[in-house]
Amino acid sequence: MKRIGFLSFGHYQDVPGSLVRTAQDALLQSIELAVAAEEVGVDGAFVRVHHFAPQLASPFPLLAAMGARTSRIEIGTGVVDMRYENPLYMAEEAAATDLISGGRLQLGVSRGSPEHAMNGYEAFGYVPAEGRTDADDARTKTQIFLQAIEGAGVVAANPRMTGHSGALAIEPHSPGLRDRIWWGSGTRATAKWTAEQGMNLMSSTLLTEDTGEQFSDLQAEQIQVFRDTWAEAGHSWTPRVSVSRSIIPLVTDEDRHYFGLRAQVEGKDQVGQLEGTLARFGKSYIGEPDALVEQLAQDAAVEAADTLLITVPNQLGVDYNAKLLESVVKYVAPALGWR
């Protein structure tokens, strides 16, 4: 059985046609969309995190509010850029959010994606030491974060206050959170590293490598590398794997108005330069539901993953996106193995 969730990039902009004109709009509508998605049967509500851009930036207050307004749906990120984070403070925030939601947090983290700012993490006070890269720091911070949410002692106790001199762990602690951390991977090499670290795999519609294969086949290969490495590592639990797709069933006249012409343009992979390397972008799935079922059945990565995140056009508002998600779960998802 697959889980179906939505992934919102949280864009806001005061332009004609947008129903999300301010940051407050983006935040409050993200909460409302999580509520609406739960009502139509969707399994997960995930948000993208970007800094120095008109998008969602600080996920934990938002996720906590989503968790407080819902009761069943998973809440999560895709992904938190660890270059910007203090791993111990983040461990406190993540645990508190998980406790508020009753253990429903699925937290995606990573080195981050291309961004508006030049070395924006340095403005946050995180400058890599000589001989280290921002990617090195992101991985180190992730390892510290993982140890902290496991309950490891991270600082010596003050005997005058505690009566002992042992190590103190971060509080609060949320049992089980460690097994619900995901790494956003864009290559086969990072998929291997993710498995070695014992994290779930989150793979998006962008791979920062290109072998000439179709996007879905390359992504399926990445997933297999992850699973093979996981088995070799001997972890004691079964990991999850998610992929993201843009899926727009054309069911209503409104759907066709917004997306009918885009189906002719976005229905194939795109290859381009990203940060000096070739990258492959996945295609969008836009069309009549029966056609989408047939196309998605041939997507090797969708078949291999256990979790499918549907990227939503959040600037069209809550009502439209709730109907879009309802169309996916009603007309497309059952044929993919959902429920």
Burial class (CB in 10 A: 0-12, 13-18, 19+), 115: middle
Residue 91 tokens, joined = 């461990």
Per-residue confidence (pLDDT) for residue 284, from 0 to 100: 87
Per-residue confidence (pLDDT) for residue 64, from 0 to 100: 98
Measured over the CA atoms of residue 259, residue 2, residue 94 and residue 144, the dihedral's sign is negative
Least confident of 70-84, 186-200, 281-295: 281-295
For the chain, give the number of residues: 339
Per-residue confidence (pLDDT) for residue 278, from 0 to 100: 44
Measured at the alpha carbon of residue 59, what is the angle toward residues 58 and 63, in degrees to the nearest 5?
A: 145
Distance CA 72, CA 320 (A): 22
Q: Are strands 241-245 and 247-249 parallel, antiparallel or unpaired?
A: unpaired
More confident residue, 114 or 156: 156
Assign 339 a pLDDT band (cuts: 50, 70, 90): confident
Assign 208 a pLDDT band (cuts: 50, 70, 90): low
Burial class (CB in 10 A: 0-12, 13-18, 19+), 79: buried
**Predicted confidence (pLDDT) at residue 139 exceeds the cutoff of 90:** yes
| CB neighbours of residue 220 within 10 Å | 21
Per-residue confidence (pLDDT) for residue 275, from 0 to 100: 54
Per-residue confidence (pLDDT) for residue 268, from 0 to 100: 61
Sheet holding 270-274, edge to edge: 206-207, 277-281, 270-274
Assign 263 a pLDDT band (cuts: 50, 70, 90): low
Measured at the alpha carbon of residue 207, what is the angle toward residues 204 and 213, in degrees to the nearest 5?
A: 115
- Provide DSSP, 161-178: HHSS-SEEEPSS--TTGG
Average pLDDT, the chain: 92
Assign 273 a pLDDT band (cuts: 50, 70, 90): very low
Side-chain-side CA neighbours of residue 235 (13 Å): 19
Can you tell me whether residue 25 is helix, strand or coil? helix
More confident residue, 65 or 260: 65
Distance CA 123, CA 302 (A): 38
pTM for the structure as a whole: 0.93
Per-residue confidence (pLDDT) for residue 21, from 0 to 100: 97
**Residues 319-338, mean pLDDT to the nearest whole number:** 95
Confirm if 318 and 32 have CB atoms less than 8 A apart. Answer: yes
Q: Per-residue pLDDT tens for 94-128?
A: 999 999 999 999 999 999 877 889 999 999 999 99
**Predicted confidence (pLDDT) at residue 83 exceeds the cutoff of 90:** yes
Per-residue confidence (pLDDT) for residue 112, from 0 to 100: 81
Of 107, 117, 287, 114, which is closest to residue 206 (Cα–Cα)? 114
Per-residue confidence (pLDDT) for residue 302, from 0 to 100: 95
Least confident of 39-43, 225-229, 273-277, 303-307: 273-277
**Predicted confidence (pLDDT) at residue 58 exceeds the cutoff of 90:** yes
End-to-end CA separation in angstroms for the chain:
6
Q: Which residue has the tokens 């993208």?
A: 48
**Predicted confidence (pLDDT) at residue 43 exceeds the cutoff of 80:** yes
Percent of the chain predicted with pLDDT > 90: 82
How far, in Å, are 214, 244, 249, 267 from residue 270 at the CA level? 10, 16, 21, 9
Q: Which residue has the tokens 């998973």?
A: 74
**Predicted confidence (pLDDT) at residue 79 exceeds the cutoff of 60:** yes
Per-residue confidence (pLDDT) for residue 114, from 0 to 100: 74
**Predicted confidence (pLDDT) at residue 269 exceeds the cutoff of 90:** no
Q: Which residue has the tokens 């539901």?
A: 289
- Provide DSSP, 119-137: SHHHHTT--PPTT--HHHH
